[in-house]
C-alpha cells in the first residue's frame, strides 16, 4: 500500500525536508547577502585605507621622485591579492596638466581596462607640505570577494543537502520505527480480520509508544469487538439460514415487482433449482405456467397494496417434478424501517400428507361410524355421572345405533341425552348398579336376557370404552336359542333312538325265547303231533286226559295269553324302531298334495280312529300353494307321519269337553327356504310348554292309558329328520291350538337313507 | 320227506336255542345247537349239515364271520340269520355266499312255522338240485 501510492510517510518527509531546505536556504541567503554587503563595505574601507596609506606612503617618494621607491610602494600595495592595480598620477609643476603616471596592473592590464565591471577604484590626492603632488588610484577587484562568497554559497548548498539527507534518514528511520511498522502490523492484523484468516495473536508483541500504543489497544479492542460481532453475525446468519433450510415450509421473498430476492433450499428445490442462491432475480414466469404465475403475481400485488397477509389453499403443479400438490400458503408484506412495504414474504406448505391424513382419518371415521351404525348388533353408549367422591349416581344415553332400535323395539335416538329416570326402560336394580360401576371402574359384563315384552332373547355384552362410560352390545339371539333348542332336541332324540335300538335287541331275544317256548308248549299238547301221544302213553296216560286237564285248568288260554303279551311287546318294539326298518321303497319325487289327501282319506276310514271320534265331524281345511314342485320322499312314510299327526289332532280335540268353536284341522302346503313345508294345525286345547318339550319322546303320552302306544310322534320325528333330512317341530298355545310344521328339502341330499 | 334236513342252531340265548331246537325236532328235523361259533367250526370239521340258523350277536366270533368261515368249510351248507336287531341288513360279505334278504328273520317270530318253512326252502332247493342231478 505504501508503495502503491504516495505514502503519508513520504509526504511527511518531503514536506519536512522541503520546509527545512527553504528555511536553510533563506537563512543562507540572508547570511550571504549580509556577508556580501559586509565584504564589499570592508573592501571599500580597506581600499580607502589602502588608498590613504598609498597617498601617505607615496608622498615622500613622489616628492623626491624616487621612482624605485614608488615602485616598491606600489609593489607592496600589490601584494594584497585584492588589489588589482595602482595608478599614480604626479602632477607636473612645470607642466600643468601633465602628469607622470606610474601604474601597475595585475595581469598586464592597462588602466583603461579597469573600467570593467568588478573593479573598485579609490583615488587619493598625494599631499606633501600642503602641496598636492599627485594622486593615487587604487583598483581593487571584487573577484576575490565574490569568489569567497560563491564558495560560501556552495557550502550553504552542501550543508542544506547534508541536512536534508540527515533529516530524511532520521525521519524515515523514526517514522519507520515509530509509525510505519506498527501501522503495518495493525494493518496486517486488520486485513487478516477482513480476510477471515485472523492470527489469533494480537498485533505484535512489541510495545508501541505513546498514542500508537493506545491506538493499537483501541484497534485491537475494536477488532476484537468487530470480530466478536462478526462471529455473532455469522452465527446468527448461519442460524437464520439453518432455520430457513430446516423448516419443512417453502419460504421465499420478493421485491415490490414480484422479483424473487431469495428463498430457502426447500423452495429452490421445489422450483427445480439446485440451490437457493439461484433464486434471486427469478420471477414467477421462470417457474410456473403463465396463468399460474399471473395469479401469484396478482396475489403479491394485493398484499403490497393492502399491506395485509393473504392466506390461500390451492392445488398447483410443482415445477421440479410436475406432481400435483396441495399448498397451504400465506403471503405477508415485508416492511422497511419506515414501515413502507418493500416486498412480499411467502410461506407455504405441502398439504398432501395432511390431506391424505385427513382423508385417511375421514375414511377411518367413516368406517368406524358405519361399523357402529350398520352393525347388526345393537350398540348403545352411556355416560355415567358420579358424585365428587366417585360414586355413580345416574347415567345418560349418548349414542345408539339403528340396530339398537331394531332389536329393542324402542326409539333410542329420541332417548339420546336423557338420563336413567327419563329413559323409557328400566333395568333391574342390580344390573343398573353393575353397569354404572363398570363405567367407573372398567371391566366386562356378559349376560343373556329374555325381554318379556318382545318375547325375544338377547345376548348382552357390556364394557367400558373409556372412563366414565359404559357401552352395551346386544344381539337378538332368539333364533340361535331356538336353533340350540332344536339341536338339543335332536341330540336328545338321537340318544333316545340309540337307546331304543339297543334295548330292542336285548328285549327281542327274551321275547323270542318266551314266544317260541309258548308255541312249543302249545305244539306239544296238541293231538296232531304223533310224538305227543307216544309221550303220553309212556307216561301212563293219554293225550285226551292231559288235554282235558289242561282245558280244565285254563292252561291253553294262559299260554295263548303269554303269546299275545309277547306279540304285543314285540309289536311295541317293532313300532318304536319302525323308522329304522328296512324299507324297500325308493325315495322318489312325490306330489305332496296327493300324499296329504291320501293320508286324510286313510284317517277318515281308520277304524281305530272311528272308535273314539268321527273324523268326518272335523272340518279339514286345505291351503295348498299352487305349483309346488314334487318333493323327493317315501310317500308311505310321509303318509304315516301325516296320519299320525291327524290322529293326534283328532284325539286332542276329542279330549276337549266344551268346544267354543267347531273342531277344525288346517292343512297347509307351501315353500319355505328351499324346503317344502307341511303344516297341520288344529284348534284344539293346545298344550303347555312342559308337554310340548317332551312331545316327541317315546312312550310320552297324555292320552288315556292304553289308548295309544306313545310312539307315533317319536317314529314320525325320525321318519322326517333321519329318513328325509327334514325338520319337524311343534308350536302350541294352550287354549288355542297346536301346529306341527314339517319341512322337507326340495332337493334330495346325496345321502342314502335306509 | 325221506330225508329231513340236518339243522345247526347257533345262538347264545339258551331259551331261544332250546325252544327253537325243540320246535324243529318236533317238525322232524335233525338239530344240533351251539352257543359259541368256535364249537360250530369244530363240529363242521367232522359232521355234515344242511342248514344253519345263526344269530348275529354272538360271543367272540360274530354270526357273520361264522357264516363266512363255515361257507369255506362246507360250501353246500345253507344259512339263515335270526337276529333281534330290527335294523339289521344283509351285508355284502353274506350276499356273496349266496344269501338273500329273505334269509334274514327277525326275533321274535310270532310263529316258528315261518322258520321251518325257510329251512325247508333253502335245504330243499339244495335237495331238489341234487335230485335233478
| pLDDT value, residue A514 | 93
B20 vs A507, A516, A524: nearest CB: A516
Query: Measuring CA to CA, which residue among A83, A88, A87, A86 is closest to residue A141?
Result: A83
- Most confidently modeled range among A23-37, A190-204, B110-124: B110-124
Instruction: Say yes or no to pLDDT of B95 above 60.
Output: yes
Instruction: Say yes or no to pLDDT of A81 above 60.
Output: yes
Interchain CB distance below 8 Å, A505 and B84: yes
| pLDDT value, residue B2 | 45
Residue A259 DSSP label:
B
B86 vs A523, A566, A574: nearest CB: A574
| pLDDT value, residue A750 | 47
| pLDDT value, residue A656 | 58
Contact indicator for B11, B55 with CB cutoff of 8 Å? yes
The ipTM (two decimal places) reads: 0.89
Question: CB of A567 within 8 Å of any CB in chain B?
Answer: yes
Interchain CB distance below 8 Å, A523 and B26: yes
Q: Comparing A41-50, A488-497, A652-661, B34-43, which segment has the lowest mean pLDDT?
A: A652-661
Q: In this structure, what C-alpha cell is assigned to residue A135?
A: 594622486
Mean per-residue pLDDT, A8-17: 83
| pLDDT value, residue A564 | 92
B87 vs A529, A531, A581: nearest CB: A581
Minimum distance, in Å, between the CA of residue B106 and any CA atom of chain A? 9
Interchain CB distance below 8 Å, A501 and B85: yes
Q: How far apart, in whole angstroms, are the C-alpha atoms of residue A77 and residue A88?
A: 12
Closest-CA residue in chain A for B87?
A: A581
Interchain CB distance below 8 Å, A513 and B84: no
Q: Comparing A163-167, A576-580, A693-697, B4-8, which segment has the lowest mean pLDDT?
A: A576-580
Q: How far apart, in whole angstroms, are the C-alpha atoms of residue B63 and residue B40?
A: 11
Q: Using one digit for the tens of pLDDT, what is the confidence trace for A378-388?
A: 999 999 988 87
Indicate the pTM of the whole model. Answer: 0.47
Interchain CB distance below 8 Å, B13 and A567: no
| pLDDT value, residue A471 | 93
Q: How far apart, in whole angstroms, are the C-alpha atoms of residue A646 and residue A667?
A: 10
Q: Which residues of B touch A508 (CB under 8 A)?
A: 84-86, 106-108
Residue A721 DSSP label:
I
| pLDDT value, residue A581 | 62
Q: Which residues of A touch B33 (CB under 8 A)?
A: none
Instruction: Say yes or no to pLDDT of A461 above 90.
Output: yes
Closest-CA residue in chain B for A524?
A: B26
Q: Which residues of B touch A517 (CB under 8 A)?
A: 15, 18-19
| pLDDT value, residue B113 | 93
Instruction: Say yes or no to pLDDT of A543 above 80.
Output: yes
Mean per-residue pLDDT, A356-376: 90
Mean per-residue pLDDT, A532-543: 90
Instruction: Say yes or no to pLDDT of B73 above 50.
Output: yes
> What confidence tier does A598 reach under pLDDT thresholds 50, 70, 90?
confident
Residues contacting residue A508 through CB under 8 Å, at least 6 positions apart: A570, A573, B84, B85, B86, B106, B107, B108
Q: Using one digit for the tens of pLDDT, what is the confidence trace for A337-353?
A: 888 889 999 999 888 88
Q: Which residues of A touch B57 (CB under 8 A)?
A: 505
Q: Using one digit for the tens of pLDDT, what is the confidence trace for A412-442?
A: 888 888 988 888 878 888 888 888 888 888 8
Minimum distance, in Å, between the CA of residue A518 and any CA atom of chain B? 9
Residues contacting residue B66 through CB under 8 Å, at least 6 positions apart: B10, B37, B40, B41, B54, B58
Instruction: Say yes or no to pLDDT of A73 above 90.
Output: no
Question: Would you report the helix, strand and coil content of chain B in percent, each value rounded to 5?
Answer: 45, 15, 40
Mean per-residue pLDDT, A393-400: 90
Q: How far apart, in whole angstroms, are the C-alpha atoms of residue A736 and residue A42?
A: 185
Distance separating the N- and C-terminal Cα atoms of chain B = 18
In chain A, the percentage of residues whose pLDDT exceeds 70 is 89
Q: Using one digit for the tens of pLDDT, what is the confidence trace for A91-139?
A: 766 666 656 677 777 766 555 555 555 677 888 888 877 778 788 888 8
B23 vs A506, A514, A520: nearest CB: A520
In chain A, the percentage of residues whose pLDDT exceeds 90 is 17
Minimum distance, in Å, between the CA of residue B65 and any CA atom of chain A? 19
Neighbours of A407 (CB within 10 A): 22
Residue B118 DSSP label:
H
Amino acid at each position: 500500500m505504501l508503495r502503491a501510492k504516495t505514502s503519508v510517510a513520504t509526504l511527511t518527509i518531503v514536506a519536512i525536508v522541503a520546509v527545512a531546505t527553504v528555511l536553510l536556504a533563506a537563512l543562507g541567503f540572508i547570511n550571504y547577502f549580509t556577508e556580501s554587503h559586509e565584504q564589499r563595505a570592508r573592501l571599500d574601507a580597506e581600499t580607502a585605507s589602502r588608498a590613504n596609506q598609498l597617498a601617505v606612503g607615496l608622498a615622500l617618494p613622489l616628492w623626491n621622485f624616487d621612482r624605485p621607491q614608488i615602485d616598491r610602494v606600489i609593489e607592496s600595495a600589490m601584494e594584497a591579492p585584492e588589489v588589482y592595480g595602482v595608478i599614480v598620477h604626479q602632477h607636473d609643476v612645470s607642466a600643468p596638466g601633465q602628469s607622470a603616471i606610474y601604474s601597475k596592473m595585475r595581469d598586464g592590464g592597462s588602466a583603461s581596462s579597469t573600467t570593467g565591471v568588478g573593479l573598485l577604484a579609490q583615488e587619493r590626492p598625494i599631499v606633501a607640505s600642503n602641496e598636492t603632488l599627485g594622486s593615487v588610484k587604487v583598483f581593487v577587484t571584487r573577484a576575490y570577494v565574490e569568489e569567497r562568497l560563491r564558495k560560501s554559497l556552495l557550502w550553504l548548498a552542501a550543508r542544506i543537502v547534508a541536512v536534508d539527507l540527515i533529516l530524511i534518514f532520521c525521519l524515515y528511520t523514526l517514522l519507520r520505527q515509530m509509525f510505519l511498522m506498527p501501522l503495518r502490523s495493525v494493518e496486517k492484523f486488520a486485513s487478516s480480520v477482513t480476510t477471515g484468516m485472523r492470527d489469533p495473536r494480537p498485533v505484535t508483541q512489541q510495545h508501541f509508544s505513546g498514542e500508537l500504543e493506545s491506538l493499537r489497544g483501541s484497534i485491537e479492542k475494536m477488532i476484537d469487538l468487530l470480530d466478536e460481532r462478526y462471529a455473532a453475525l455469522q452465527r446468527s446468519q448461519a442460524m437464520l439460514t439453518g432455520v430457513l433450510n430446516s423448516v419443512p415450509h417453502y419460504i421465499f421473498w420478493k421485491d415490490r415487482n414480484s422479483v424473487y430476492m431469495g428463498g430457502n433450499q426447500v423452495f429452490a428445490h421445489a422450483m427445480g433449482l439446485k440451490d437457493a442462491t439461484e433464486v434471486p432475480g427469478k420471477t414467477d414466469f421462470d417457474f410456473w405456467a403463465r396463468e399460474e404465475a399471473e395469479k401469484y403475481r396478482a396475489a403479491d400485488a394485493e398484499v403490497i397494496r393492502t399491506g395485509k397477509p393473504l392466506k390461500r389453499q390451492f392445488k398447483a403443479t410443482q415445477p421440479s417434478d410436475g406432481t400435483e400438490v396441495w399448498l397451504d400458503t400465506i403471503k405477508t408484506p415485508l416492511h422497511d424501517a419506515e414501515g413502507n412495504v418493500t416486498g412480499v414474504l411467502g410461506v407455504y406448505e405441502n398439504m398432501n400428507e395432511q390431506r391424505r391424513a385427513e382423508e385417511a382419518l375421514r375414511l377411518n371415521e367413516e368406517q368406524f361410524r358405519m361399523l357402529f351404525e350398520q352393525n347388526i348388533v345393537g350398540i348403545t353408549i352411556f355416560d355415567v355421572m358420579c358424585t365428587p367422591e366417585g360414586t355413580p349416581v345416574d347415567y345418560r344415553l349418548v349414542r345408539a345405533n339403528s340396530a339398537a332400535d331394531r332389536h329393542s323395539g324402542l326409539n333410542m335416538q329420541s332417548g339420546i341425552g336423557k338420563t336413567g329416570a327419563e329413559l323409557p326402560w328400566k333395568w333391574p336394580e342390580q344390573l343398573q348398579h353393575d353397569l354404572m360401576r363398570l363405567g367407573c371402574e372398567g371391566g366386562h359384563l356378559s349376560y343373556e336376557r329374555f325381554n318379556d315384552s318382545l318375547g325375544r332373547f338377547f345376548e348382552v355384552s357390556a364394557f367400558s370404552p373409556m372412563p366414565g362410560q359404559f357401552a352395551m352390545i346386544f344381539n337378538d339371539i332368539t333364533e340361535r336359542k331356538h336353533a340350540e333348542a332344536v339341536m338339543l332336541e335332536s341330540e336328545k332324540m338321537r340318544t333316545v333312538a340309540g337307546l331304543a335300538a339297543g334295548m330292542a335287541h336285548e328285549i327281542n331275544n327274551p321275547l323270542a325265547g318266551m314266544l317260541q317256548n309258548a308255541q312249543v308248549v302249545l305244539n306239544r299238547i296238541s293231538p296232531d303231533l304223533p310224538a305227543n301221544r307216544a309221550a303220553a302213553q309212556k307216561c301212563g296216560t293219554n293225550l285226551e286226559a292231559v288235554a282235558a286237564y289242561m282245558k280244565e285248568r285254563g292252561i291253553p288260554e294262559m299260554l295263548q295269553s303269554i303269546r299275545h303279551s309277547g306279540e304285543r311287546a314285540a309289536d311295541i318294539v317293532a313300532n318304536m324302531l319302525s323308522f329304522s326298518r328296512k324299507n324297500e321303497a325308493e325315495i322318489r319325487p312325490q306330489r305332496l298334495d296327493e300324499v296329504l289327501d291320501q293320508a286324510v282319506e286313510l284317517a277318515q276310514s281308520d277304524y281305530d280312529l272311528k272308535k273314539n271320534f268321527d273324523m268326518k265331524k272335523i272340518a279339514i281345511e286345505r291351503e295348498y300353494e299352487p305349483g309346488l314342485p314334487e318333493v323327493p320322499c317315501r310317500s308311505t312314510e310321509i303318509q304315516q307321519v301325516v296320519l299320525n299327526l291327524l290322529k293326534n289332532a283328532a284325539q286332542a280335540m276329542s279330549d276337549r269337553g266344551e268346544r267354543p268353536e267347531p273342531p277344525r284341522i288346517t292343512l297347509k302346503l307351501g315353500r319355505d327356504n328351499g324346503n317344502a313345508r307341511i303344516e297341520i294345525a288344529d284348534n284344539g286345547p293346545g298344550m303347555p310348554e312342559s308337554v310340548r318339550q317332551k312331545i316327541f319322546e317315546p312312550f310320552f303320552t297324555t292320552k288315556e292309558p292304553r289308548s295309544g302306544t306313545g310312539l307315533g310322534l317319536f317314529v314320525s320325528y325320525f321318519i322326517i329328520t333321519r329318513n328325509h333330512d327334514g325338520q319337524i317341530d311343534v308350536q302350541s298355545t294352550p287354549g288355542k291350538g297346536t301346529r306341527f310344521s314339517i319341512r322337507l328339502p326340495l332337493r334330495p341330499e346325496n345321502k342314502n337313507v335306509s | 320227506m325221506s330225508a329231513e334236513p340236518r339243522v345247526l342252531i347257533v345262538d347264545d340265548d339258551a331259551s331261544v336255542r332250546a325252544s327253537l331246537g325243540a320246535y324243529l325236532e318236533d317238525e322232524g328235523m335233525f338239530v344240533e345247537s351251539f352257543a359259541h361259533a368256535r364249537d360250530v367250526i369244530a363240529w363242521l370239521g367232522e359232521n355234515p349239515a344242511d342248514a344253519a340258523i345263526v344269530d348275529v350277536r354272538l360271543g367272540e366270533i360274530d354270526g357273520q364271520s361264522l357264516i363266512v368261515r363255515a361257507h369255506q368249510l362246507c360250501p353246500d351248507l345253507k344259512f339263515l340269520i335270526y337276529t333281534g336287531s330290527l335294523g339289521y341288513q344283509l351285508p355284502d360279505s353274506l350276499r356273496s355266499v349266496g344269501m338273500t334278504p329273505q334269509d334274514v328273520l327277525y326275533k321274535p317270530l310270532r310263529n316258528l312255522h315261518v322258520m321251518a318253512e325257510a329251512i325247508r326252502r333253502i335245504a330243499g332247493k339244495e335237495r331238489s338240485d341234487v335230485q335233478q342231478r
